Amino acid sequence: MYKNHHLLSLIQVFTLLFSVNLIAGPEDWRIALCISENPQNQMNVSWQVETELDTPSVQLALNNPEAKFHKEYREFGVQVETVVLMDSSTIQAYSAKMEGLEPGTSYAYRVGSKEEWSEWFVFNTASQADESFRFLYFGDPQNGLLSHVSRAIRAGFMAAPDAAFLSMAGDLVSVPGIDQQWEDLFHAGSWIFGQIPLVPVMGNHAYYIDRKWSDQHSIYWRPHFNLPENGLTTLPETNYYFHYQGVLFVVLNGNEQLEEQAVWLDEILGREESTWIILSMHQPLYSTGQGRDGAKRRAAFLSVIDKYEVDLVLQGHDHTFGRTYPLKAGLAVKKRAKGTIYINSVSGSKQYKLEPAIEGVFAITDADKQFYHVIDVQSSKLKLSSYTVDGELKDEVIIKPSRNR
């Protein structure tokens, strides 16, 4: 009798302990280190908590081997926003800009308050010089976030643990109003999202509100990311750009205001100097998904891309893989330095059938596989390596810089 009573008491204790909502713990705060418009001197961070923190802040220290590295730190103020979820519950969204950093320096940071802190994360600022670096690119996560996307992110990290940033080409979740999907995405990314700066692209599913298409994107984008605000003021934090060691990286919102963005893109590419130009947008200009076509985006952006001889365009949306030949005006050119390479990819479980390859446009296509991509950047060449999630090298291409830049 005593044994049964003791067992019942233990069950009650464990039931009480594990009935607490785990989002309250720092391990479930959905911490996202985000690229800034000036990654030499600034990094951005955001995170969410179910209950409001007392005096929240970000602590930043130099990352050195001493065990007491954290004794000397700087603190940064935090912006707070209360976000109402679809079920009428609320979360507290926090964001901060870590400014005044030294180029080419390793830092450690943590977020929280005097009551509770996250673990320390480590990142590096960009160098002032155009030094070699690499970054990761993923196509749509969207579906199978825990079961499938997690292994793609981890495989990519294992291949490039020194990645300077992580680009995701849209449709990060399927229905942005369902909070569980964001939770699954951040569990898939885990501490990697807090350590490698994210460069997210807005996809069409950001406009899929309560399982209905809308003219306005979900309010849940901004609480999860803290991004550059140097794009169109009418598209805050969904189109933006930054420089990273010789690369001008531009993110476009392929869902709305395409003509306005084309004018903006022309201005940015004409003004900003760099060795390399890389664009990322969700919907591809050249499609690999069956029955799809990027005519609207070609009409808006192709003339600008050709004018400035953009080197590489990273895309998603078609839930297939494909890499074009160097293209100009939609036709393959013999010299890479005079054409642009476009790539479509997918990292989640949702897979489409291939559109029959357009002759003379796509060099390689594939379907029903998850991919990650490592882009190695040097001053003299750019190498795009495409891997399936089991580590098989599917495709590799060397890109030479434009002679007219």
* Judgement on whether residues 383 and 268 belong to the same structural domain of the protein: yes
Domain that holds residue 42: 22-124
pLDDT score of 241 more than 50: yes
87 and 148 housed in the same domain: no
278: which strand partners? 249, 312
Based on the fold, state whether residues 106 and 150 are members of the same structural domain: no
- Across the range 4-11, mean pLDDT stands at 42
pLDDT per residue as tens digits for the range 70-90: 999 999 999 999 988 878 888
- CA distance linking residue 264 with residue 274, whole number of Å: 17
405 part of a folded domain: no
- Residue-level pLDDT at 10: 39
Burial of 268 (0-12, 13-18, 19+ CB in 10 A): buried
Confidence at residue 97, expressed as pLDDT on a 0 to 100 scale? 98
Give the predicted TM-score (pTM) of the model: 0.91
pLDDT single digits (tens) 331-377: 999 776 679 999 999 999 999 999 886 778 999 999 999 999 999 99
Cα 29 to chain centroid, rounded? 18
pLDDT at 292 exceeding the cut of 90: no
Q: What confidence score (pLDDT) does residue 368 get?
A: 96
Same domain for 214 and 196: yes
304 and 275, same domain (yes or no): yes
Which two tokens mark 228?
């550059």
Q: How far is CA 48 from CA 25, 81, 325, in A?
A: 10, 9, 42
The distance of Cα 166 from the centroid of its chain, to the nearest Å, equals 5
Q: Are residues 362 and 262 in the same domain?
A: yes
> What confidence tens digit (pLDDT) does each residue in 255-277 have?
999 999 999 999 999 999 999 99
Domain membership flag for residue 12:
no
405 confidence band (pLDDT: 50, 70, 90): low
Q: Is residue 4 part of a domain?
A: no
User: The domain spanning residue 103 has which CATH number?
Assistant: 2.60.40.380
Give the per-residue pLDDT at 16.
34
Choosing from 124, 154, 169, the residue where a domain stops is 124
- List the beta bridge partners of residue 398: 383
Which residue among 72, 101, 124 closes a domain? 124
Residue 15 forms part of a structural domain: no
Question: Are 272 and 345 in the same domain?
Answer: yes
Residue 14 has pLDDT above 80, yes or no: no
Last residue of one domain, picked from the residues 70, 96, 124: 124
In this prediction, residues 192-211 reach a mean pLDDT of 91
- Mean pLDDT across 170-187: 92
Element (H, E) at 261: helix 258-271
Residue 279 parent element (H or E): strand 276-280
**329 shares its domain with 274:** yes
Q: Is residue 13 over pLDDT 90?
A: no
Per-residue pLDDT, 217: 82
Confirm whether 16 is domain-assigned.
Answer: no
Question: What angle in degrees, to the nearest 10, is found between the helix axes of 150-159 and 179-189?
Answer: 30
pLDDT of residue 290: 86
Residue 5 lies in a domain: no
What pLDDT is recorded for position 359? Answer: 73
Question: If you average pLDDT over every residue of the chain, what do you get?
Answer: 90
231/238 Cα distance (integer angstroms): 8
**Tens digit of pLDDT for each residue in 129-165?**
999 999 999 999 999 999 999 999 999 999 999 999 9
Q: Of the given ranges (42-46, 170-174, 375-379), which has the lowest mean pLDDT?
A: 170-174
Number of domains in the chain: 2
CATH of the domain at 204: 3.60.21.10
Does 45 share its domain with 161?
no
Q: Are residues 249 and 391 both part of a single domain?
A: yes
Res. 23 pLDDT band, cuts 50 70 90: very low
Residue 173 lies in a domain: yes
Task: Quickly tell me which residue has 């507290």 as its tokens.
Answer: 92
pLDDT reported for residue 357:
67
Is there a single domain that holds both residue 181 and residue 202?
yes
Q: What amino acid occupies position 168?
A: M
- Do 36 and 109 reside in the same domain of the chain? yes
The pLDDT assigned to 224 comes to: 94
Classify the C-alpha dihedral 282-287-291-293 as positive or negative.
positive
pLDDT band at 24 (very low <50, low <70, confident <90, very high): low
Over residues 221-229, the mean pLDDT reads 94
Token digits of residue 224: 């999860």
Answer whether residue 8 is part of any domain.
Answer: no
